[in-house]
Structures are given as structure tokens and as C-alpha cells.
Amino acid sequence: MQTHEIRERFTNHFVETGHTEVPSASLILDDPTLLFVNAGMVPFKPYFLGQQTPPFENGLATSIQKCVRTLDIEEVGITTRHNTFFQMAGNFSFGQYFKEGAITHAWTLLTGPVEEGGLGLDPERLWVTVYTDDDEAAEIWEHKIGVPVERIQRMGMEDNFWSMGVPGPCGPCSEIYYDRGPEYGQEGGPIADDNRYMEIWNLVFMESIRGAGDKKGGFEILGELPNKNIDTGLGVERVACILQGVDNVYETDLLRPVIDVAQELTGTQYDAGSPADDVRFRVIADHSRTSMMIILDGVTPSNEGRGYILRRLLRRIIRSARLLGATGEVMEPLINTIMDTMTPSFPEIADNRDRILRVALAEERAFSKTLESGTHRFDEAAETLKASGVTTLSGEQAFELHDTYGFPIDLTMEMAQEAGLEVDMDAFNAAMEEQRNRAKADNKAKKMGNRDDSLYREWVDAHPTEFVGYDQLTHDANVIGLVKDGEKVTEVNQGDEVEVILDVTPMYAEAGGQMADRGRLVMGETVLNVGDVQRIGKKLWVHKATVQNGGLDLGSTVTAEVDGAWRHGARQAHTATHLIHAALRQVLGPTAVQAGSLNKPGYLRFDFNYTDQLSDAQLEEIATITNQAVDADFAVNTIETSLEEAKAMGAMALFGENYGDRVRVVEIGGPFSIELCGGTHVEHSSQIGPVAVLGESSVGSGARRIEAYSGLESFRYFSKEAALASGLASELKTPSEQLPERIAQLTERLRAAEKEIENLHRQQLLAGTGDLAAKAETVGAHKLVAVHLPDGINTGDLRTMVSDVRGKLTGEDAVVVLASADNGKAAFAVAATPAAVESGVKAGELVKTFGTYVDGKGGGKPDLAQGSGANPAGIDAGLAAIRDALA
């Protein structure tokens, strides 16, 4: 049975029993505790916590949620049951059925005949576990379902008590296991062997709220949830493994094709007797799928957060392929293959293939350059070690290659072995552990738990705010809620900072990149200045305000007034953003997709997924198309329709955004621009005024940003530019249209003059090096030139001088040390002739010796090194110390 059919049977089973089908949320949600959605229940957290009332008919839901877990990336492929990306099929009951209902549903689907829509598993091969003291669940399994008591096992909190690992919902659980047979391990049930007995479904009986704690069981139960709820998770990949008769999740219809392609690319065979190679194949398969799904949801590689995880996954693919024997690029065939296998379950992949591939290939090419620089750094280190007779690469050096150059430790070890070296893995692992501990501490500091929106629940449920601001800037409203310092109050007074909840408002709440409206709430002499408006649960508008004058009571009627100038500027910027997006796609193609935006009066920035820097010609074309659309005076139409109809119209949606059944489409100029958008816009494109595109820049690997002014801010910008051009034209006595050519001529003349000055400076420096060489003195077995030069010579010049003096002493065992005070610091450089290096002199070590006397440091190769320090008064002492060292 193919994986997409398993998904279909699961969904059909629960829809037919009254559950509402909920589409998978994006892997990226607005949750401060998570980088990625890591469990099927994550999108339902507000309902479990009682912060919002579930909107599902009968209080029942089912979903197949995309999930990513990346805590133990290094363990991927070592075990054959775990993936970083997986599909969690679940059914949810919010205060409806509980243990018996969840158990009955699961058993019916798992053991039901295939011809009747079930999965057809043999009930004699199913085992279950329950929480230690959960007699109720054990009783249901034995007497209601008929599972023999010997196939019901009890486990403790580590195994049969579920939480997300952070403060939030939790409860005991019951897990269902499938016995794969004696060839997979010993008898005795899940307690005896969890390889033979594969867990396939976890039924969580959500009834409590847990507090903070680092480990399972190391937390306090804070209380009960408002209702007893059900959260279950069936591992789609594990069930596919069983129903397809394969040994592990890497050999199912989703991942095995990737392994087959990897065999062709590397010339190495999977399952040919090498456990290490098999792990690498599984890493390639797992990470290809996870990377593709993360890119699909809008993430691009970077050095932090989600982007760092993606970069790490992609680079582990490349590293594994290299270690298996690949010599060229591998990403294109691997990603194409995983997109083919996953599209039946996720049709949206088809519309994003080019973009996904572009991001993956760009990272592969970037990593190739990293490998080159890392290899160069390794070769330098290996050469130095061999010259000094050392056979071990230090853990610190290996960690530097890993951390600074992104060089995988496996590759370092392979190259070290080829060079006849070992790697101090104990020290490397200690450095890695220290880094992990720092990361965990940082992550812990960021995990602030769940925002307690339960304070607002009565308003969310009973009095959703009516937004009338699309066509009105002023409206009377009733004050249905007041919050001050996190508590509900019945009155507020002058000077108070408060949150005001109205039953109706014309003020736009921040969303979709558009900043919130500014405005006032007025009642007679009472005035509250509104500086921000936020939404809770997409239903409730919270006005953050300061009481400027008077006071306000709960139940009062106020007039809500939007700052008209602010709104006008914000509308201009937001509509201009749509025009720029459309222009981008005309110039760059459909792979240039929005990744974020910010719109405020007079200014916009637009982030988009694209790997290459835009040329000046492309940027000019984007600006031209945008302003042509302004000049065309396109009508801006808004349409409310269903999500499916909007997609059929060609409306673009944002990654990571979860849309309801009814959506708002903004159409500008017919087919010119059509997007899903809840923001405010001008009525005609000409109302935007001129749009000044300021430029574009990188905001991470595979992501670019365009910034622009709109309306009056654009006019002011153009006026400044015109005044600047006029001033330059006057100063240079050149017509404005000839300024670029004139400035280019002057720049070229300046560069030529600077080069000439540099050459003269170099000649002046080198003119005295002959005299310096003549000052060589004999110190021990060496010739030494050690001179404290006049002030003002920088490190770069010193390096040039010591190299030249060394050249004049070629053939001798000689060392050159020059130092100078430059801008309040000590600059110094050391050079050693080949004979001196042969006799054991190391310039890098001498520089370190010198550095201790000038409160500085330095480094380099045995024949040439340099450094700087904060205490130039120690220069003479440093020179003396080098004399002593050579003597």
C-alpha cells in the first residue's frame, strides 16, 4: 500500500466518523518555543490550553501534519525508525470522547479490512502499552477491545507520559506496537525489544498542564486542562514500512528512490556490508526530504535559526555523498527525486519545483567553495604539523575547521588519515559539547513558554471585533474590555498605558507586513492615543493606548479615529509592495517569491527568495515596470471568496500563512497583480505616487531584499537626488547627463594616483632595507636583524620590509624582526630564512613571544608571521626577548 493511500484511508476513516479535516499547517508557526512544528498537535495548542474555543463541528478534528524534529541530527540513519521529517496523522477530541473513544477509533482503523477502508493489520501482532497507573486504559484494552492481558504492558513517565518538552498541555498515553517477527529481535513485547516491536500510534489522553523542566518527569504538573482532550499521532512512515513489507522507513516508496539515485551518483552500493556507508545513504535520503519540505515552506539557508538547520541538513547531504564517492554536484537529481515521491501527498510541490531546486543548488555551490577554503586551511595545518614532527591534529584545530569553515569532522578525519595524521577527537568532542551547551542555554533562554491568551478568551469567544476599516476611518464603538498590567480592570485614568478592546473598530491591526494604524479613542474630554493594534486569535482587536486626558470606564462608548495621514501613507506603501512583487516576477520569473515584507507610511521593504544578486539593469527594469503600473492608473479591486476559488484565479499566497475558508483577494490591473491579502490599499494605483527603488541586498543565502519609498517620501528622495546631481554638475562644470562619465574619469585618475603613491611609498620603505640587512648581528647559531623602527609604520608595511630584508640574507641562517609604534599600538613582523626554519626557528612562535611584551598576539607560518599589541612601550623588551630565545 503506497504512502499516499495510507494517508487517504486515515483521513477518510475519521471524516466519516464526524471529524473535521484540517489541512496541515506550515512547518513554521508563530510559536516562540519552536523552530519547526514538531508534533501533530502543535497547531491545536490554543484549543488544548483553553485559550480559544475549537471551531470544529462536534469538537472533533483530524489532520496529517508535516513535522520536523532536529534535536539529534547526528543520530539520523544510525537507527532505522527515525526521520527528521515525518507525517503525523492524528485525530483530536476537544472535550468530547476520551480514552475509550480514542482506543476504539485506532483499533478499528488499524485492524479493519482493506476492502472496507481499513489498514488490514493482523490484530494478533499488535501490542499496547499504558502509563504505569492507568488502570482505566488497561481495562478498556482488555475488556472492550479484547487485547490479551499478556500483550498489555505498563511503562513509566519516560515512555508513556507525553508533553512537548516545554510548558503546556500534557497527559498519560497509550502506545500501539506492531510485532515484526522473531527475525527482528527477542520476544517479550515493547519492554523487551522496541526494534522488533515497532511503535506505530500514540494515543495521548491530554488532561494536565505541565511547568518548566529539562527532562521528562523533571517538571511540575500545574493543574488540569479545562476539558479532557484527545491527541493521537500515527506515524505514517512507520505504517508504510509495515504495509510495504520493508525492513525500515528508509526503504519505503518515499525514500528508497533517493537511495537508488545516490547509488548511481556515488558508485557505492547500499546494504552491501558497510554499516557506515548505509548510514550515509540514509542521511542523504532523510535530509533530502526534510530540506525540500523546509524550503517548500519558505526557509532559505542562513547562519541562524531555521536557516542554519536547513544549511546544516543540505551540507550533510553533500558531505555524505562525497564520503560515498561522489565527485560532482549531487543536489539536483536527489531533490528532483524526492519531489517526485512527495508530490502525490503534497501537490503544492509541483508549483514550487523551480524555486526549491534553485535554493538547494545555490547552497551546494556555496558549500563547494567552503570545502575549498577548508581544504586549504587543513593543508596549511598539516604541513606545519609535519614540519614540526607532530602527528596529531589538535581538537582545537579540528573544531576551528568545523565551526569557522563549516568543514565536517568526518571529512577532516578522512583527510588526516590520508596525510598520515590522527585527530584529537577527545578535545574536538569537548569543544563540540561546550558549543552544544551554549546553544542549549541560549535555546532555553528563548523558550518563554506559551503566551497566556486565556485572559482574552471570553472576548474571543463571545465578542469578536468587527473590523470596518476598509472603507471607514471613524466609527463609534463600545468598550467591551480593559486590560492594564496584564489584568482586567473596569476603569483607567490619565497617564495609564492600557489595552482597549472594542466591539467594532476602523483601526487596522498589524498583519501581512503592514504596520498597525495609529489613531485616537475619544469620548468628550477623554482622549486615548493609540500607538499599536494587535490581533489575538484572528478575531479580537487589542488597541494599545495611553490615556492622554480624562478617564475611561468599561462599557463606555467612544469614537475610534484612524490617523488619516498615517493610513494614507501605509496604503500607498502596501499597494506599492504588490506592484514591486508583480514587477519582480516579470523580470526574474516565478521563482522570485515573497518571503516577507514591511509596509509603513512612505517606506516599504520586500524580501523574496532568489539566489543571485540583481544587476543594475534588472533593478532599473523593476522600478520602471512598477512606476508604469502607477502611471497606468490601474483599479485596485478586492474580492472575498473561497480559498479554492482564489487559487483558481491565480492568487498568490504567503508561505507559513494559514488561511481560513474565506479569503480576501487584492487584484490590481486585472492579471498584473493578484494576491491573497488582508491589508488596506489605495483605490487606484496612481494614488501611490512615484515609487523610488533604493536598491537591493542580501538578507541570507537564497534571500534578497528590495527597499523603496512611496508617495511624498519618494518625491523627497528624488528631490534630494536632483539637488545632489545639480550640485555635482556645478562643481565639476559638467552637464548632469555627463556626470557618470566625468566621475568615472576622476575615479580612474584617483586610482592611478593612489597606485603611484603606493609604489613610491614601497620604494621608500625598501630603500632602507639594505642598511637593515647590514645590521645583522650574530646571536647563537643565527644571524639576527632586530630593529625598533620609527613610529607610523603599519603591520602590512612591516611584513613587506621583513620579507625584503630576509631576501637579502638568503643562504644564511637568519631571522628578521622589525617593530614600530603605529596609532598608539605596537606593530611587528618576523621573517626567517629557509636555513633558519631548517634549524628549528618558527616565526609564528617568535611572534607569540614578542606579543606577550606588548599586550598583543599574532601568528603565521614558520617562515613569516606578524602581529599587533596594545602596548608599544614594550617593543624593546620584546626584541630583547627574541634575542634571548635565539641565543
Q: What's the CA gap between 650 and 132, in Å, rounded?
A: 54
Q: What's the CA gap between 370 and 378, in Å, rounded?
A: 12
Q: What is the residue whose three cell numbers read 558508485? A: 267
Do the beta carbons of residue 482 and residue 528 sit within 8 Å?
Answer: no
Q: What is the DSSP string of 68-111?
A: E--TTGGGBTTBSS--SEEEEEEEEEESS--HHHHHHHHHHHHH
Angstrom distances, CA of residue 408 to CA of 126, 404, 682: 42, 11, 52
Is 681 annotated in a binding site? The answer is yes
Q: Which residues contact 584 (CB under 8 A, 6 or more apart)?
A: 592, 606, 608, 622, 706
Do the beta carbons of residue 79 and residue 221 sit within 8 Å?
Answer: no
Q: At what angle do helices 616-631 and 564-588 cross, to 10 degrees?
A: 130
Give the H/E segment covering residue 817: strand 814-822
Do the beta carbons of residue 103 and residue 144 sit within 8 Å?
Answer: yes
φ, ψ of residue 201 to 5 degrees: the values are -150, 135
The number of residues making up the chain comes to: 887
Residue 432, all three cell numbers: 563540540
DSSP conformational letter for 160: H
Q: Which residues contact 433 (CB under 8 A, 6 or more apart)?
A: none
Residue 667, all three cell numbers: 487584484
Is 170 annotated in a binding site? The answer is no
The three-state secondary structure class of 228 is strand
| Three-state secondary structure of 717-771 | HHHHHHHHHHHHHHHHCCCHHHHHHHHHHHHHHHHHHHHHHHHHHHHHHHHCHHH
Do the beta carbons of residue 225 and residue 80 sit within 8 Å?
Answer: no
Is 67 annotated in a binding site? The answer is no
Instruction: Classify strands 504-505 and 777-779 as parallel, antiparallel or unpaired.
Output: unpaired
Which residue in 875, 300, 845 sits closest to 596, CA to CA?
300
Residue 716, all three cell numbers: 523627497
**Residue ranges with strand state E in 470-609:** 474-484, 487-488, 491-493, 497-502, 504-505, 519-523, 526-536, 540-549, 551-553, 557-562, 593-600, 603-609
Q: What's the CA gap between 231 and 195, in Å, rounded?
A: 25
Q: For residue 2, count other CB atoms closer than 10 A to its CB.
A: 16
Is 677 annotated in a binding site? The answer is yes
Q: What's the CA gap between 823 and 66, in Å, rounded?
A: 58
Q: What's the CA gap between 347 and 339, in Å, rounded?
A: 10
Which residue in 477, 464, 492 sits closest to 560, CA to CA?
477
φ, ψ of residue 868 to 5 degrees: the values are -150, 160
3-state helix, strand, coil in the chain (%, to 5): 45, 25, 30
Do the beta carbons of residue 205 and residue 160 sit within 8 Å?
Answer: no
| Binding-site positions | 574, 578, 677, 681
| Binding-site positions for Zn(2+) | 574, 578, 677, 681
